[in-house]
Amino acid sequence: MTCINRLFERNVVSLCSLKKKKYEEISNIRFRRNPTKHHLAQSTNHALAALGYPTHKEEEYNFMVGNGINKLFERALPEGKKTEENVLRVRKEFVPYYDQHNADKSRPYPGITELLDELQAKGLQVAVASNKYQAATEKLIAHYFPNIRFTAVFGQREGVNVKPDPTVVYDILKIAQISKEDVLYVGDSGVDMQTAIHAEVTSCGVTWGFRPRAELETFHPNYIIDKAEEVLEIVFR
């Protein structure tokens, strides 16, 4: 099983089985030029401005994202305003704007479409595990990967803890009917590496996301790769 959480520029992670012909891929897809981060930053700033709060430079969002949008809003709100009520107010302004614009400039990272095609052609299962809210995750996956038969597409769901909690991985394993030993989890952030550790699956950090390589190395993943096609080398070695 392969789980990818870095498919789009600014968003990709993978989880792959380590047994021949029994791989499963779980992905948290990100987009190029970091349009995903661009859209998150733009949409959050729109919501903050609508409520009269100060906004942030796009690069400041690099370390605000990754734990779901509610945590993003909490981090973006000014000190003294980080209440649950204000988070919900920001979310109310954010969601309609983000839903309208989240695919404007996004596109898969180089090699991601070919990687997914190859994994599917070889009979591996593929799934998505993202901290992006569920509706947006489903929309983006359906738009950019209409020919990939994902075993599951999970974003942030009501009542389910977000990554690095391993619940999303466990839910996918149940659907895929495979064991932890048959999974390679590929992600671009410390949150992803923690998720793999908590789920007790093989981890692979990717360097094409918006977090530094040093962050990945902190968690000592089983693999660190620089190109999408290197996933195939791991899976089929």
Same domain, 61 and 92: yes
Q: How far is CA 144 from the centre of its chain?
A: 15
| Per-residue tokens: 115 | 């990687």
Q: The whole model's pTM is what?
A: 0.74
Same domain, 134 and 191: yes
CATH number at residue 222: 3.40.50.1000
Same domain, 157 and 126: yes
Residue 237 has pLDDT above 90, yes or no: no
pLDDT recorded at residue 5: 58
Same domain, 163 and 53: no
Give 3 or 65, the one with higher predicted confidence.
65
Same domain, 128 and 235: yes
Residue that is last in its domain, among 105, 131, 165: 105
pLDDT band at 225 (very low <50, low <70, confident <90, very high): very high
Count of structural domains within the chain: 2
Residue that is last in its domain, among 83, 105, 127: 105
Q: Which domain holds residue 101?
A: 34-105
Residue 233: in which H helix or E strand, if any?
A: helix 230-235
Rounded CA-CA distance 190/166 in Å is: 14
Same domain, 115 and 101: no
- For 133-160, b/e burial (b = at least 16 CB within 10 A) is beebbbebbeebbeebebbbbbbbeeee
Q: What is the pLDDT of residues 11-64, one digit of tens each?
A: 333 344 434 344 565 665 544 445 567 788 999 999 999 999 999 999 899 889
Same domain, 114 and 66: no
pLDDT recorded at residue 36: 61
Q: Quote the mean pLDDT of the chain.
A: 86
Same domain, 158 and 101: no
pLDDT recorded at residue 62: 85
CATH number at residue 98: 1.10.150
Q: What is the pLDDT of residues 110-147, one digit of tens each?
A: 999 999 999 999 999 999 999 988 998 998 899 999 99
pLDDT recorded at residue 39: 82
Cα three-residue angle 128-100-187, rounded to 5 degrees: 25
Same domain, 99 and 66: yes
Same domain, 195 and 138: yes
Same domain, 181 and 113: yes
Residue that is last in its domain, among 105, 128, 150: 105
Rounded CA-CA distance 136/114 in Å is: 23
Partners of 10 in the β-ladder? none
Same domain, 158 and 230: yes
Rounded CA-CA distance 84/95 in Å is: 16
